[in-house]
């Protein structure tokens, strides 16, 4: 009978459930997003209780966007990866009115006139990317590395200020900030203290830790909140200004922070920044600065992006927090390439919401410039999310027992002496094969920037090394469940999970593989440039120094370093073993070589209307074209958008073919 009841829901019950869902979402939005409740909490609870009862009796009525689903479902085994349709950028930072003035100057130089800005509060929380289809919430993803994040949809559904159903059935991708109210943060920490658990350092950490809980019911028990601030993509026409975009988001049902201001001058922005420097601590959420964006979308698109951040916006951070503490010791830290970095061990001090006990001193020259001694009282600064830094020493507090620091000749972690790199301020291990350096390289090999093997953190890597199971990257792929199950902290299930996680990474992109090798001077961006230039790892192996040096972004130093590394016998032996275990995927290349852009060099200039600069670059690469930042006789096409300037003039001077954005689009068709 239960099955029959589930399949045949009475029409009046179905309609009642639909009306309840609509009404509950309406009052939830009034309460959580607008702070304008129309009914009492008791009345709201009664409506929700009725819907829960109906759905319990008729499970077929349960929908993914039902308000009842905010309570959280069964625990997850792990988060799945999700590739962002829109690359996730971070804003560059400025910390003073003078630095902001330089940003404003760059914008005015580009536009040739003064520009209006929208100033918004920068919420110190956890970024989330929400995707809606026909108005229904489909996915919620973390920022991750900007390209790939984690699917945390089930957790996001528990946050009441995030609508499960929009006011209109449009398709869109929006971005926002999840935050934890200060009072809720205190309540959670009190609860964790009673349970003997480690407390969270600050509300931001608590929000991030909560979003990444595998049990949605835990997420539901904490009162997370969310402000949405950006419409990244929509099936409707995009608003012409940032102000109109925020109004659109609010009309769709999102909670938008109300404390924004349209500013006509840089002085107006500085005034807003100073005002909120005083008022920020009065809010129920953490605010660590002001986000400033050019208001007009046309100008935003014209300014475009750098490799890391938008040019049309900036994060204007509040004055850095500073504190004083004692330098208890200075110790050397050995990196994966053998570079030795001095680190100040400090008397623990709370700074910018976190307890700080260490700060990098960068190198010998920095220590001498600051005259930092063991036992000194120093001023420590933490600006935004950057690593804490020693600003200066307070020599007037010295008592005569402070000890100057000298770099030793022998470092235990190097298993030998260290030497100063000629022409640089860094020291490096003479012996490149120490246990510590190998451990750092193997840790990086498995990290999210490289092979991204879940469960292979630093502690496990060190355990495997000390047990003699891993001495080279290829050894990870020969591990068996029997090898792991007998190790401390492992059981049959955890051993099986790790072997499975390793097997899932036997295919890897060319650029990630190259990044994972820890070759000096070859980071993620350079690895991507090389992968794009050569297509396959074999082609890279066969390249000469001159061919390497001709790759955009690769100079003589990097080319020589890479060539020498690839042709060392010990590295070739390791690569042969590793390539027997993994498959290096070819760099994505076009399937049709008859594309008019195949093998051509293209320069983009001016603002594009129908696509962003990065979308244009991606399409060029997929079509087999090469992108250059400067016009020369080797340039095949210059794509001229709105307000094209010097590059367009250079193209005409050299006789390079200039195409409009419309002609550019036709090339792909």
* pLDDT tens profile 530-551: 888 898 999 999 999 999 988 8
Q: What is the CATH number of domain 2-70?
A: 1.10.287.610
Among 63-67, 97-101, 177-181, 384-388, top mean pLDDT goes to 177-181
pLDDT, position 1: 39
pLDDT band, residue 4 (cuts 50/70/90): very low
pLDDT, position 3: 42
577 is catalytic: no
Q: Please list the alpha-helical segments (H only) found in 362-504.
A: 364-370, 435-446, 458-466, 481-485, 492-503
Q: Is the pTM of this model over 0.85?
A: no
Architecture in CATH of 601-668: 3-Layer(aba) Sandwich (3.40)
pLDDT digits (tens, 9 = 90+) for 345-372: 998 887 765 678 888 898 888 899 999 9
Looking at the predicted structure, is the pLDDT value of residue 409 above 70? yes
CATH H-level superfamily of 509-585: 5' to 3' exonuclease, C-terminal subdomain (1.10.150.20)
pLDDT digits (tens, 9 = 90+) for 63-78: 877 887 765 455 556 7
According to DSSP, the residues that pair with 393 across neighbouring strands are: 378
pLDDT, position 595: 75
Q: Enumerate residues 6+ apart whose C-beta is below 8 A from 186.
A: none
Distances (CA, A) of 581 to 262, 418, 472, 479, 650: 57, 35, 12, 11, 50
> Which of these ranges, 160-164, 428-432, 562-566, has the smallest mean pLDDT?
428-432
Cα 329 from Cα 345, distance rounded (Å) = 5
pLDDT band, residue 105 (cuts 50/70/90): very high
Looking at the predicted structure, is the pLDDT value of residue 438 above 80? yes
Looking at the predicted structure, is the pLDDT value of residue 383 above 50? yes
According to DSSP, the residues that pair with 380 across neighbouring strands are: 323, 390
> If you average pLDDT over residues 124-153, what whole number do you get?
91
Q: Which pair of structure tokens corresponds to residue 54? A: 């109906």
> Which of these ranges, 330-344, 504-518, 626-640, has the smallest mean pLDDT?
626-640
Cα 561 from Cα 517, distance rounded (Å) = 13
**Where do the domains of the chain lie?**
2-70, 93-317, 321-420, 435-505, 509-585, 601-668
Closest CA to 22 of 47, 57, 52: 47
Distances (CA, A) of 389 to 105, 382, 424: 29, 6, 21
pLDDT digits (tens, 9 = 90+) for 284-315: 999 989 999 999 999 999 998 876 689 999 99
pLDDT digits (tens, 9 = 90+) for 587-640: 765 455 667 887 788 888 877 777 877 678 778 867 777 777 678 888 899 998
Collapse the DSSP code of 514 into the 3-class scheme (helix H, G, I; strand E, B; otherwise coil) and give the result: helix
Cα 375 from Cα 364, distance rounded (Å) = 18
Report the percent of the chain where pLDDT is more than 70: 91
pLDDT digits (tens, 9 = 90+) for 461-508: 999 998 889 989 999 999 998 889 888 889 889 999 999 999 999 999
Q: Phi/psi at 183 (nearest 5 deg)? A: -65, -35
pLDDT digits (tens, 9 = 90+) for 187-211: 998 988 888 888 887 788 888 888 8
pLDDT, position 5: 42
pLDDT band, residue 35 (cuts 50/70/90): low
Q: What CATH topology corresponds to 435-505?
A: DNA polymerase; domain 1 (1.10.150)
Q: Out of 2.40.50.140, 3.30.420.40, 3.20.20.140, 3.30.1780.10, which CATH number does the structure's domain 321-420 have? A: 2.40.50.140
> If you average pLDDT over residues 147-169, what whole number do you get?
92
Domain 321-420 shares a fold with domain 601-668: no
Residue bearing the bigger pLDDT, 552 or 149: 149
> Which of these ranges, 257-271, 427-441, 585-599, 641-655, has the smallest mean pLDDT?
585-599
> If you average pLDDT over residues 27-44, what whole number do you get?
68
pLDDT digits (tens, 9 = 90+) for 208-249: 888 888 888 888 888 999 999 999 999 999 999 999 999 999
Q: What strands lie across the sheet with 657-660, from one edge to the other?
A: 626-628, 601-605, 637-640, 657-660
pLDDT, position 42: 60
* DSSP-assigned states of every residue in 314-359: EEEEPPPEEEEEEEEEEEEEE-TTSEEEEEEEEEEEEETTEEEEEE
Looking at the predicted structure, is the pLDDT value of residue 385 above 60? no
User: Does domain 93-317 fall into CATH 3.30.470.30?
Assistant: yes
Looking at the predicted structure, is the pLDDT value of residue 380 above 50? yes
pLDDT, position 76: 55
> Which of these ranges, 125-139, 457-471, 557-571, 624-638, has the smallest mean pLDDT?
624-638
pLDDT, position 511: 86
Q: Enumerate residues 6+ apart whose C-beta is below 8 A from 529.
A: 551, 552, 553, 554
> If you average pLDDT over residues 374-400, what whole number do you get?
80
Cα 362 from Cα 381, distance rounded (Å) = 15
pLDDT, position 611: 80
Residue bearing the bigger pLDDT, 15 or 166: 166
Q: What is the largest CA-CA distance in the chain?
A: 88
Q: What average pLDDT is seen over the chain?
A: 86
pLDDT, position 2: 41
Report the percent of the chain where pLDDT is more than 90: 37
pLDDT, position 200: 82
Cα 516 from Cα 440, distance rounded (Å) = 11
pLDDT, position 320: 62
Q: Catalytic residue among 122, 317, 382, 439, which?
A: 122
């Amino acid at each position: 009978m239960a099955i029959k009841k589930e399949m045949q829901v009475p029409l009046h019950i179905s309609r009642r459930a639909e009306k309840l869902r609509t009404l509950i979402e309406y009052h939830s939005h009034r309460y959580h997003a607008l702070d304008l409740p129309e009914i009492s909490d008791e009345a709201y609870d009664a409506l929700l209780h009725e819907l829960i009862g109906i759905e319990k009796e008729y499970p077929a009525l349960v929908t993914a966007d039902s308000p009842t689903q905010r309570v959280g479902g069964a625990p997850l085994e792990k988060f799945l990866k999700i590739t962002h349709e829109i690359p996730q950028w971070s804003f560059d930072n400025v910390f003073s009115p003078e630095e902001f003035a330089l940003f404003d100057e760059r914008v005015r130089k580009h536009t040739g006139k003064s520009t209006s800005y929208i100033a918004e509060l920068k919420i110190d929380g956890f970024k989330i990317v929400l995707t809606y289809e026909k108005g229904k919430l489909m996915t919620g993803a973390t920022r991750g590395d900007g390209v790939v994040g984690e699917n945390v949809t089930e957790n996001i559904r528990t946050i009441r200020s995030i609508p499960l159903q929009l006011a209109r059935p449009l398709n869109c991708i929006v971005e926002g900030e999840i935050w934890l109210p200060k009072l809720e943060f205190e309540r959670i920490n009190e609860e964790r203290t009673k349970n003997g658990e480690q407390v969270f350092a600050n509300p931001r950490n608590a929000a991030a830790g909560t979003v990444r809980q595998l049990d949605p019911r835990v997420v539901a028990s904490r009162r997370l909140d969310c402000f949405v601030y950006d419409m990244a993509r929509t099936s409707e026409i995009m608003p012409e200004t940032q102000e109109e975009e925020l109004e659109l988001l609010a009309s769709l049902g999102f909670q938008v922070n109300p404390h924004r201001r349209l500013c006509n001058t840089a002085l107006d922005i500085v005034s807003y920044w100073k005002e909120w420097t005083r008022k920020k601590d009065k809010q129920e959420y953490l605010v660590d600065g002001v986000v400033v964006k050019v208001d007009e979308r046309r100008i935003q698109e014209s300014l475009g992006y750098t490799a890391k951040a938008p040019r049309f916006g900036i994060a204007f951070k509040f004055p850095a927090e500073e504190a004083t503490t004692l330098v208890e010791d200075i110790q050397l830290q050995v990196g994966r390439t053998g570079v030795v970095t001095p680190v100040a061990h400090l008397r623990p001090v709370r700074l910018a919401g976190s307890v700080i006990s260490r700060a990098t001193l960068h190198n010998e020259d920095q220590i001498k410039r600051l005259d930092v001694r063991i036992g000194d009282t120093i001023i420590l600064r933490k600006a935004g999310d950057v690593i804490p830094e020693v600003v200066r020493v307070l020599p007037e507090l010295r008592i005569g027992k402070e000890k100057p620091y000298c770099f030793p000749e022998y470092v235990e972690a190097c298993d030998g002496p260290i030497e100063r790199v000629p022409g640089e301020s860094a020291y490096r291990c003479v012996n490149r094969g120490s246990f510590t350096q190998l451990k750092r390289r193997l840790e990086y090999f498995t990290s999210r920037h490289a092979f991204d093997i879940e469960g292979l953190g630093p502690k496990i890597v060190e355990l495997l090394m000390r047990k003699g199971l891993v001495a080279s990257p290829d050894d990870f792929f020969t591990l068996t469940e029997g090898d792991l199950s007998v190790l401390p902290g492992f059981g049959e299930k955890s051993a099986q999970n790790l072997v499975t996680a390793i097997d899932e990474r036997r295919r890897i992109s060319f650029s990630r593989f190259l990044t994972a090798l820890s070759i000096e001077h070859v980071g993620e961006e350079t690895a991507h440039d090389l992968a794009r230039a050569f297509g396959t790892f074999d082609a890279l192996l066969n390249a000469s120094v001159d061919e390497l040096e001709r790759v955009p972004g690769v100079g003589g130093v990097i080319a020589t370093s890479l060539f020498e590394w690839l042709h060392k016998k010990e590295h070739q032996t390791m690569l042969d073993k590793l390539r027997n275990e993994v498959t290096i995927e070819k760099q994505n290349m076009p399937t049709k070589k008859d594309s008019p852009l195949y093998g051509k060099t293209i320069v983009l200039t001016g603002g594009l209307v129908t696509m962003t600069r990065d979308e244009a670059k991606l399409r060029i690469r997929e079509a087999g074209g090469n992108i250059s930042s400067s016009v020369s006789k080797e340039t095949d096409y210059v794509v001229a958008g709105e307000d094209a300037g010097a590059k367009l003039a250079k193209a005409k001077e050299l006789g390079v073919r200039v195409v409009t954005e419309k002609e550019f689009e036709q090339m792909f068709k």
